[in-house]
Amino acid sequence: MRSSTFANYFCTNIGRTMRTKLMLLLFFFGFLSAAHTQQWIENGKLAPFKVDLKYKRGGDKQQAELNRMMASIAYSHQKPVETIAASWELIASYQVTREEKGNFKSDIFIKPKAPEGDLTLYEFNSAEAILPVLKSFRLRIFKEDSSLVYLKIFDENPISVGSVGQIANFTFAHQRWSKGWYMEIDQAEFAYHFNTLDFEKWFQFTNDYKAAFYLTESLLSDYRALQQKEQKPQSFLMKSIIQANKLKKLYQLPFYKATIAAGIDPGELGQKMNILSTLYTLNIEKYKKELLETNQPNTVSVDDLVQVFVDEELSIRTIQQAYPGIYDHLFQEIRKTNYPENLNTDTFGYFDIIEFESAARIKIIDAFENKIYTNSIANIEQLILNEQFAEALYAIENIENFKFYSASIKQSDLFTQYKARAAYGMYYSYANIIDKAIALKNTSLAEQYIIKANQIQKTYPELILTNSLIEKKMRMLVEDCYADFSLLLEQNRYDEVISKRDTIRELINSFQLTGVESILRHLEVLSN
C-alpha cells in the first residue's frame, strides 16, 4: 500500500512539474515569436505645432467669431483688444516598428500642453470655450535627400482642449522605412467651439456669477447686521419683501442655470443664496404676524415706507458702484423696478396687511406712489445736472414702469423735458468720446461709440429725430483712416497698409456709408 501510494504521489507531482515546464516553454517561444513579428526600429521627436489666437481685422467668418471672443476677454482684463492672445501648443513624437512579413507600423503621439495666454476669467477658465480642437493634420515621410516617400492625412480622433494632459495616438502602416529617413507634420486644421456654447453668453454667465457673489455677500452681511438691532416692524417687513424679490431674480437669471444649477459653483454661491433666502422668509413671517397681532398696520407712516423703498433702490446702486469688477450686467437686471410685484410675496401683498379698510388703504397707496414719483423726478434732475446721463435714463425707465402700474400718478411736462435732456446728453457724450478717439487714432474705440450713439438714437427716435451728427463722425473716422493709409503707403509699410485698407473697407460696410466710391477705388489701386 505504501509503495503504491508513493508511486502515485511521485507520478502525479512529476506530471505537474512537466506540465509547468511545458507551459513555460510555450510562453517563452510565444514571446520570441511575438518579438520577432514586432521589432522596434526607432523613435524620435517631431516639430511641435501651435495655434495662436489673436484679434485680426478682416478675415473670414471664423476670424470674426474669434474677434468677438477676444473683445470679450479684453473687456474682462481691461486691456486693449489688440494685446489679447491665447495659444495652444501640441508636442509630437513617433515610434517605428517592423511588423511580420517585413511591413512597418508607425505610431504618432501628440500631447497637448496646457493652454497659455489671456484665458482666465475670474474663477472660471475660458480654455474650453475659446481654444480649438485639432481636426486634421498631414504627415509626410522623407528620405535623407528630402524626396517624399509617403504621405498620410489624419482626420479622425480629434484632440479637444479637455484632453490636455493626455496623449493621443495615431497609427498607420507602411511598406518601407530606412535609417536616416524622417517625418514631418504640417497642414494642421483646427475646429473651434462655436457650436457648443455661444462665447458671449458664456462670458456673461461667468461675469454674472462673479457679480451675484458680490451682491449676495453684501446683502447677507448688511441684513445680518440689521437683525442685531431693533427695527420698526412696518419698515423692516417692506425691506425684507423687496430684498427677497431681488434675490428671487437671481434664481431666475440665465447665469444660475448655466453655472450653479449645472454644478459649477466654485465659491458656493448657491449655499449663500439659500441662507439669505431662509433669513428673508423667517423675518417676513415674523413681522407680518407681529403687525397683525399688535394692530399696528392702522398707524402707518407713509414717509417711513417711501424712505425704505427709495433706500432699497439706492442700496443696489451703491453696491453696484462699489463692485470691483467692470462687467455689471447683473446689477442692471436686479435694479429694474417691478412695482407692485416687488412688494408682493407668494401669499400676500404688503399693503394687504397695512390697513383693513379699503378706502383708507387706497389713500395710503396713492400717497405712497405720488411721493415716490416726486422723489424720483428730483433724483433725475440731479443726475442730469451731474451729467450722469446713463443713470438718469435708467431712473427714467424705472419711473415709467412704476407709473404704468399706478392709477394716481399723472405725468408732468417736467418729466418729458428731463427725458429729452438725458437722451441728448447721452448722445452728445458719445459724440465727444468719438472725437477724442479719432484724435488719438483709436479706431476701435471710435467705432464702438459710434455704434453706441446709433443705439441711443434708435432707442429714443421720438426725441433724437436725426442721426446726422454721428454720420459726420463716421465720415471723419473713415477719412482719418484713409489719410493714415496714404501715409503708410508712402513709408512702404506694406503690412500696415493692408491692415488699414481692410479696416477702412470694414468701416464703410459696417456703417453702410454712401458717396465713398472714390475712396474704395483709390484703396484698390494704391494697395495693388
Confidence of residue 255 (pLDDT cuts 50, 70, 90): very high
The whole-chain average pLDDT of the chain stands at 83
Whether the pLDDT of residue 175 is over 90: the answer is no
Please report the pLDDT score of residue 328 as a whole number. Answer: 86
- Between 159 and 35, the higher pLDDT residue: 159
Please report the pLDDT score of residue 1 as a whole number. Answer: 38
Mean pLDDT of 186-197: 74
- Between 7 and 85, the higher pLDDT residue: 85
Whether the pLDDT of residue 91 is over 80: the answer is yes
Please report the pLDDT score of residue 28 as a whole number. Answer: 45
- Between 367 and 465, the higher pLDDT residue: 367
Render the burial of 332-360: b for 16+ CB within 10 Å, e for the rest: ebbbebbbeebbbbeeeebbebbbeeeee
Whether the pLDDT of residue 357 is over 90: the answer is no
- Between 294 and 413, the higher pLDDT residue: 413
CA 354 to chain centre: 44
Q: Give percent above pLDDT 70 in the chain.
A: 89
Q: Residue with C-alpha cell 473651434?
A: 192
Please report the pLDDT score of residue 355 as a whole number. Answer: 63
Cis, peptide link before residue 340, omega less than 30° from 0: yes
Residues 437/446, Cβ–Cβ less than 8 Å: yes
> How is 454-502 classified by DSSP, letter by letter?
HHHHHH-TTT----HHHHHHHHHHHHHHHHHHHHHHHTT-HHHHHHHHH
- Between 20 and 439, the higher pLDDT residue: 439
Confidence of residue 19 (pLDDT cuts 50, 70, 90): low
Tell me the per-residue pLDDT of 321-332, one tens digit each, with 9 for 90 and over. Answer: 899 887 888 998
Q: Which of 102-111, 165-174, 275-284 has the highest mean pLDDT?
A: 275-284
- Between 444 and 85, the higher pLDDT residue: 85
Residues 523/505, Cβ–Cβ less than 8 Å: yes
Q: Give percent above pLDDT 90 in the chain.
A: 31
Whether the pLDDT of residue 43 is over 70: the answer is yes
Confidence of residue 236 (pLDDT cuts 50, 70, 90): very high
Tell me the per-residue pLDDT of 130-167, one tens digit each, with 9 for 90 and over. Answer: 788 888 999 999 999 999 999 999 988 888 877 777 88
Tell me the per-residue pLDDT of 264-313, one tens digit each, with 9 for 90 and over. Answer: 898 899 999 999 999 999 999 999 988 888 766 566 788 999 999 989 98
Residue spans of the domains in the chain: they are 1-37, 40-191, 199-370, 429-527
**Which element (helix H / strand E) includes 173?**
strand 168-174
Poorest-confidence range of 121-135, 170-184, 372-386?
121-135
Whether the pLDDT of residue 26 is over 50: the answer is no
Mean pLDDT of 431-438: 91
Q: Environment class of residue 85 by beta-carbon count within 10 Å: exposed (0-12), middle (13-18) or buried (19+)?
A: middle
Please report the pLDDT score of residue 14 as a whole number. Answer: 42
Please report the pLDDT score of residue 5 as a whole number. Answer: 40
Please report the pLDDT score of residue 2 as a whole number. Answer: 37
Confidence of residue 505 (pLDDT cuts 50, 70, 90): confident
Q: Smallest Cα–Cα separation from 174: which of 90, 75, 232, 105?
A: 105
Mean pLDDT of 14-18: 48
Instruction: Tell me the C-alpha distance between 89 and 107, whole Å.
Output: 20
Please report the pLDDT score of residue 195 as a whole number. Answer: 53
Mean pLDDT of 425-441: 91
Whether the pLDDT of residue 65 is over 50: the answer is yes
Instruction: Point out which residues pair with 107 in neighbouring strands.
Output: 95, 171
CATH 2.60.40 fits 40-191, yes or no: yes
Q: Environment class of residue 212 by beta-carbon count within 10 Å: exposed (0-12), middle (13-18) or buried (19+)?
A: buried
Instruction: Tell me the C-alpha distance between 526 and 379, whole Å.
Output: 56
